[in-house]
Amino acid sequence: MTNPTIDHLLTRRSVSANSLGEPGPSESEIAQMLTAAARVPDHKKLVPWRFLLFQGEGRAAFGKILAGICQAEEKDPSTFRLETEANRFMRAPLVIAVISRVVKNPAAPEWEQVLSAGAACQNLLIAATALGYGAQWITEWYGYSQGVRAALKLADNERVAGFVYIGTAKEKPDERERPSLADIAQAWRP
């Protein structure tokens, strides 16, 4: 007997942000994706993540900010590099920044909260691909930039868990090699 959820998990494949295009998801589909992203393990109900959406003109506006930050943070970036940064968020109709937000709580260690943000990224990918879109979770340089932190107005307890690019796949991605279970799973023995 087949199970559609298991079948999807076993065949899900990221699509490169460069291979995404229009159309993007509708507002109701975005709401579904974000609702799914928020249904992850969350010890003590701290909600240790939040989402920033870049779509429409906001993508180009943030691209200009990225180009400016790149120019300020790197020594002599080329014109090509600055153009690449200015167009970075134009690669997909929707880019969602998942922001990890650690809340001080002795009953919920920081590591658990960071893992919860990672689970939110994964659920977002699964939801997007289940709705028929292509998606890719990436960080790249701007996920770690101090200038980008300031531009996103991240608090001291926040950092970027990833940027999830979502759109329609221009082509089906090739399958990639996966690890053998024999190499990654063993029974524990005393």
pLDDT digits 0-9 by tens, 58-88? 999 999 999 999 999 999 999 999 999 999 9
Tell me the CATH number at 128.
3.40.109.10
Average pLDDT over residues 99-120: 95
The verdict on residue 2 lying in a domain is no
Peptide bond just before 77 cis, omega within 30 deg: no
**Does a structural domain hold residue 48?**
yes
Residue 69 is assigned to a structural domain of this protein = no
Distance of alpha carbon 151 from alpha carbon 84, whole angstroms: 18
Beta pairing partners, 95: 54, 165
Average confidence (pLDDT) over 120-138: 97
- % of the chain at pLDDT higher than 70: 100
In a domain, 74, yes or no: no
pLDDT in tens, 162-186: 999 999 999 888 888 999 999 999 9
Question: Is the pLDDT confidence value at 116 over 90?
Answer: yes
Q: Residue 91 — very low, low, confident or very high, per pLDDT cuts 50/70/90? A: very high
Q: Please say if the pLDDT value at position 148 is more than 90.
A: yes
Domain that holds residue 112: 14-55+90-169
47, 37 in Cβ contact below 8 A? Answer: no
- Asked whether residue 184 is domain-assigned, the answer is no
Number of domains in the chain: 1
7 falls within a domain:
no
Task: Tell me whether residue 35 is in a domain.
Answer: yes
Q: What is the mean pLDDT of residues 96-124?
A: 96
Mean pLDDT to the nearest integer, 119-147: 97
Mean pLDDT, rounded, of the chain: 96
CA distances from 147 to 73, 141, 154, 165, 167 (A): 8, 11, 10, 21, 27
What was the pLDDT predicted at 174?
85
Residue at 179 is within a domain: no
DSSP 8-class letter at 10: H
